[in-house]
Amino acid sequence: MTDTDRDPDRDQETAPDLPAGEARDGDSRCGFVAVMGAPNAGKSTLVNTLVGTKVSIVSPKVQTTRTRVRGVALHGPAQIVFIDTPGVFKPQRRLERSMVAAAWEGAADADQVLVVVDANRGLDDDTRSIITGLRGQGRTDCLLALNKIDTVRRDSLLALAAALDAEGVFRTVFMISALKADGTGDLLAALAREALPGPWMFPEDEVSDLPQRLWAAEITREQVFRQLHQELPYAALVESESWQERADGSVRIDQVIYVQRDSQRAIVLGKGGSRIRAISTAARQEMSTLLERTVHLFLFVKVHDRLWDDRRHYAEWGLDYDA
């Protein structure tokens, strides 16, 4: 996925007198940052804000992110690769165990770990579990981003920051609102300063390493969750079956939405096909905007009662079936 919507002023403001190529060849820096947190803490929103365009889907449902998605941000001579990990929680099913394992693998592989905490939820059981796990990995120099600060009273916010600081795994605390991009500039600048000297790992115009087929499937899955927030459980899967480039510059994408029961298929289709048309329209419009080209999207709904017992789906998303 390449850079089509990144804010063009971001890098000019940080290093106006230093051409990007010269910075990269001379004193370039690169760092990998694992973004961890409890489900729905705002990790994906934060990564999208820092990168400057959408690389991870966002929905009101928790556990929306299922695997590690890497987003690439630039700040002066520094390239920061964010690993947006699934939310960490107490897993009960195979898929959940695979998701949590992917999050911890992301933390182990990163230069830095940034923990996002929803200021409204505070120091809950999921966050405590993350802190315990970080101690177990010997991580006592993590960064903390207190998110959604615009929704919490200042005295409560300061008390929460003090309580988290006392846990002994955080060395710096940032107060942010990822949705409003408040405080995120300071966070990005700090991460850029701490990036290690070395060459960039991705081309300058690349914002994510997620293959286009998977990215397109995620856009549609986001719409499924957004439009069927109450009716449909998490066990839906979207697969891009074909991607056909057309001579006029447009692209045809055929996707299958898998559900586990006939009753769920009826929900996704809606009365007279109304719901599937609405999902298709919203997903197609977003794909067209982000790809800057016409997209012809065709959706099909199929039932697969043992959907998450299929190793193929785990392998496609880089998840460990046996976690």
Could you report the per-residue pLDDT of 115-164, keeping only the tens digit for each? 999 999 999 998 998 999 889 888 889 999 999 999 999 999 999 999 99
Considering the domain architecture, whether residues 228 and 137 belong to the same structural domain is answered as no
- What does the block give as tokens for 225? 């969750």
- Would you say 40 is a known binding-site residue? yes
321, part of any domain = no
Q: Which residue has the higher pLDDT, 182 or 15?
A: 182
First-last CA distance in the chain: 29
* Cβ 26 vs Cβ 77: under 8 Å: yes
Query: Domain of 95?
Result: 9-197
**Beta carbons within 8 Å of 219's beta carbon, 6+ residues apart:** 57, 283, 286, 287, 290
- Are both 177 and 216 inside the same structural domain? no
For 183-202, the DSSP string reads SHHHHHHHHHHHSEES--SS
Is residue 41 a known part of a binding site? yes
318 is in an annotated binding site: no
Residue 81 lies in a domain: yes
Whether 204 is in a domain gets the answer no
Asked if residue 114 belongs to a domain, the reply is yes
Asked if residue 43 belongs to a known ligand binding site, the reply is yes
**pLDDT over 80 (residue 59):** no
CA angle 95, 101, 103 (to 5 degrees): 110
Q: Say if residue 180 carries a ligand binding annotation.
A: no
Does the annotation list 173 as a binding residue?
no
What's the pLDDT band for 165 if we cut at 50, 70, 90?
A: very high
59 belongs to an annotated ligand binding site: no
The answer to whether 86 is a known ligand-binding residue is: yes
CA quadruple 189, 191, 194, 198: dihedral sign: negative
Residues 112/140, Cβ–Cβ less than 8 Å: no
Average pLDDT across the chain, whole number: 81
Q: Is 197 annotated as a binding residue?
A: no
CA dihedral 214, 217, 223, 229 (to 10 degrees): -80
| Residue 185 known to bind ligand | no
CATH classification of the domain holding 282:
3.30.300.20
Output the domain CATH number for residue 98: 3.40.50.300
Structural domain count of the chain? 2
Q: Has residue 102 got a pLDDT over 50?
A: yes
Residue 191 lies in a domain: yes
Inside any domain, residue 163? yes
38 is in an annotated binding site: yes
Minimal CA–CA distance to 193: which of 17, 33, 16? 33
Residue 37 labeled ligand binder: yes
Is residue 54 a known part of a binding site? no
CA distance 147 to 110: 21
Of the residues 171, 197, 223, the one at which a domain ends:
197
Single pTM value for the model? 0.70
Same domain, 21 and 121: yes
85 annotated ligand binder: yes
CA angle 323, 233, 48 (to 5 degrees): 75
* Mean pLDDT to the nearest integer, 231-253: 86
User: Is 61 a member of any domain?
Assistant: yes
pLDDT digits (tens, 9 = 90+) for 270-303: 999 999 999 999 999 999 998 899 999 999 999 9
Give 187-205 pLDDT, tens digit per residue. Answer: 999 999 999 999 998 888 8
Q: What is the pLDDT of residue 288?
A: 95
Does 2 reside within a domain?
A: no
Average of per-residue pLDDT across 92-105: 63
Q: Has 138 been labeled as part of a binding site?
A: no
Tell whether 38 and 140 lie within a shared domain. Answer: yes
